[in-house]
Amino acid sequence: MSLAFGIAILISNETKTVKNILQNLKYNEKRHFFMAIFFASLSTAISNLSINYAFTFQDVAYVMAIKRVMPFFAFLIGYFYFKEKTDVKRKIFATILMVLGAVMITILQ
């Protein structure tokens, strides 16, 4: 999916700025950019396939509760890897709220 978005960005007439940025990148940086797009599309595909596969074995409430724990990992990746330090208290509160909701769904089901 992200590979399709990457191709759409490159061929779009509206994104001349992105094309100029890519033309100014060195060969090594372009390779890293396309590898990032490739791994993003691969992880998206694996995520969607595993969730759809889980639906065949378990109730929807349980599968969705597990899926709702993913914001916790997204917060950790954003905070430690991408160094997102703005509005941390709000992000922590939202993450805790989502994870608690997932736990409640699992327990009360």
Q: What is the pLDDT of residues 52-63, one digit of tens each?
A: 888 888 887 777
Same domain, 16 and 63: no
What is the helix (H) or strand (E) element at residue 83, kind and residue range? Answer: none
53 and 64, same structural domain? no
Residue 86 has pLDDT above 60, yes or no: yes
Residue 28, pLDDT above cutoff 60: yes
DSSP-derived letter for residue 87 is T
For the chain, percent of residues with pLDDT exceeding 70: 69
66 and 93, same domain (yes or no)? yes
Is the pLDDT confidence value at 37 over 70?
A: yes
What is the span of the domain harbouring residue 45? Answer: 1-57
Same domain, 76 and 95: yes
CA 46/CA 43 separation, integer angstroms: 5
Assessment of whether the complete model's pTM goes beyond 0.85 = no
Q: How many structural domains are present in the chain?
A: 2
